[in-house]
Structure 1
Amino acid sequence: MHRLAAPALLLLGLGACSTPPPPAAPQPEASGPPAQRGEASYYGPGFEGKRTASGERFDPGANTAASKTLPLGSVAEVTNLETGQSQRVRITDRGPYVKGRVVDVTPKVAEKIGLKHKGTAPVEVKPVSAPTETAAR
């Protein structure tokens, strides 16, 4: 028994002396649409209850937005670059159709990120998630 234990201990000892594995390679960033920078504005009072491009009725108290490029049903984080305030929104509509503007948000979101008083603000729109299967329908 003593003869069998010595090789086993030797193997265990050699395993402890081996070099550690190399560090994991950095993971590539998630593919998808890149963040956009531009101006944001917000919907005026005449849109309440009207149908959006997604078919939903516009709710000025919701965390939703319009984008020309992000898929309907996707979620994005809109950050006011002047205030640093952010809100997550779900893309339910198309637009804005004013040069330099990248997103229209609801009055609720405009208030939360500090752009309601001025009407527009420079923002970054960062995609967070793709539309869910049910949202895509």
Structure 2
Amino acid sequence: MDSCHTRHEAVQTGEASWYAEKFQGRQTANGEHFDAGALTAAHRTLPLGSYVRVRSVATGKSVVVRINDRGPYVKGRIIDLSYAAAKTLGLTDARSMQVQIERVEHTSNTQTESDGGGILTTGR
């Protein structure tokens, strides 16, 4: 048994999409204002403030995002990405993309907010 938290039971496969420009500045589920340039995402059930690695099934490219909103509400979609996260995966030229998502611990090389905003962890 490993003492570190590297279990991979939280892998989910499905379609990812990305937020349209009209959502810029709108309030997210955790109270932040949506920022298309931040590495964030919406998921229906993962805890707000948790981090996931999103990997493109087609290209193998991946990005780590912080869950700060709820959604997507389109059948078959499992995650909605910010523009910055979608661009990293090469998703901005398509409506959606097959991805795998996996929960990860927050690491020092994960991009975080630079405006000093805290991460809400209340889950409400």
Q: Structure 1 length as normaliser, TM-score?
A: 0.73
> Which protein, 1 or 2, shows the higher relative CO under an 8 Å CA cutoff with sep ≥ 6?
2
Q: Unpaired runs of 5+ in structure 1?
A: 1-25
Distance in 2 of aligned mates of 1:100 and 1:42: 14
Q: Please list, as runs of the form range in 1=range in 2, the aligned pairs for 1:7-86 lying within 5 A after superposition.
A: 26-27=1-2, 30=5, 34-86=10-62
Match of 1:126 among 89, 99, 102: 102
The alpha-carbon deviation at position 44 of structure 1 amounts to 0.2
Give the secondary-structure state (helix, strand or coil) at the position aligned to 2:120.
helix
Q: Which amino acid aligns with 1:128?
A: V
**What number of residue pairs does the alignment pair up?**
110
The alpha-carbon deviation at position 69 of structure 1 amounts to 1.4
Distance in 1 of aligned mates of 2:119 and 2:41: 18
Match of 1:94 among 70, 74, 91: 70
RMSD of equivalent CA atoms: 2.1
Q: Per residue, is there more helix in 1 or in 2?
A: 1
Stretches (4+) displaced over 2 A: 26-33
Q: Structure 2 length as normaliser, TM-score?
A: 0.80
| Contact 2:8–2:102 (CA under 8 A) maintained in structure 1 | no
Q: Which amino acid aligns with 1:55?
A: G
Q: Unpaired runs of 5+ in structure 2?
A: 107-117
Distance in 2 of aligned mates of 1:69 and 1:32: 17
- Relative distance call for 1:112 and 1:32 in structure 2 (3 A) is closer
